[in-house]
Amino acid sequence: MKRKFLEDLGLEKDVIEKIMNENGADIEKAKGEVETLRNQLNETQDKLKSFEGVDVAKLRGEITNLTNELATNKAEYEASIADRDFNDLVKGIASEYKARDIKAIMPFLDVEALKSSKNQDKDIRTALDGMVKEQGYLFEPNKKVPYVVGPTPGPMPLGGGSDDKKTRANEAIRSLFGKE
């Protein structure tokens, strides 16, 4: 806007001065915005120049390969964690059943079926119950062997029973075999 245009409209000089100052401020603000936009445009053009010669299809292929590799690694990791948890569960339950060697009982278990089971604990216990019956040699016996102690010296029995060493040994052996 020019000053002469405002003077031709018949405005006073004070009013013209205020209008010109306000117009100048708006123009300076607009120039600043234009300069900022021009700088952003130059920066963007420089960045785009750095991407010249880049094969976008190749990059997309690499991204796809890396994504697939990441998914495969994650699946393998989760599978190894599940295997470890399953093996720990089997070892814990087998120790409750007093298995002689965990490696010896593993071939008798249907591992794949037990891994996919909804209630692994119960199914493993059921499988081990069957193994105890069929392959009992893989487990420690539950029977407690009586501990035989020699006779202690003491007074003779009142009833005049025989107290010689042979008789006591025979009685100890009979009690050991449960034939009292």
Q: Where are the domains of the chain?
A: 11-48, 56-138
pLDDT at 34: 92
| Amino acid 64: pLDDT | 94
Confidence of residue 84 (pLDDT cuts 50, 70, 90): very high
pLDDT greater than 70 at residue 116: yes
Q: Which residue has the tokens 């593993």?
A: 106
First to last CA, the chain: 129
**For residue 94, pLDDT beyond 80:** yes
| pLDDT at position 143 | 67
Mean pLDDT of 83-99: 89
Beta carbons within 10 angstroms of residue 61's beta carbon: 11
Tens of pLDDT along 8-65?
Answer: 778 888 888 888 888 888 888 889 999 999 999 999 998 888 888 888 888 899 999 9
Q: In sequence order, which ranges of the chain are alpha helices (DSSP H)?
A: 3-8, 13-50, 56-96, 102-105, 111-115, 120-134, 165-176
User: Is the confidence at residue 4, as pLDDT, over 60?
Assistant: yes
- Residues 121-170 have pLDDT tens digits of 999 999 999 988 888 888 887 766 666 676 666 655 554 555 578 888 88
Rounded CA-CA distance 113/106 in Å is 13
Give me the residues paired with residue 99 across strands. 139
Look at the pTM and tell me if it is higher than 0.85: no
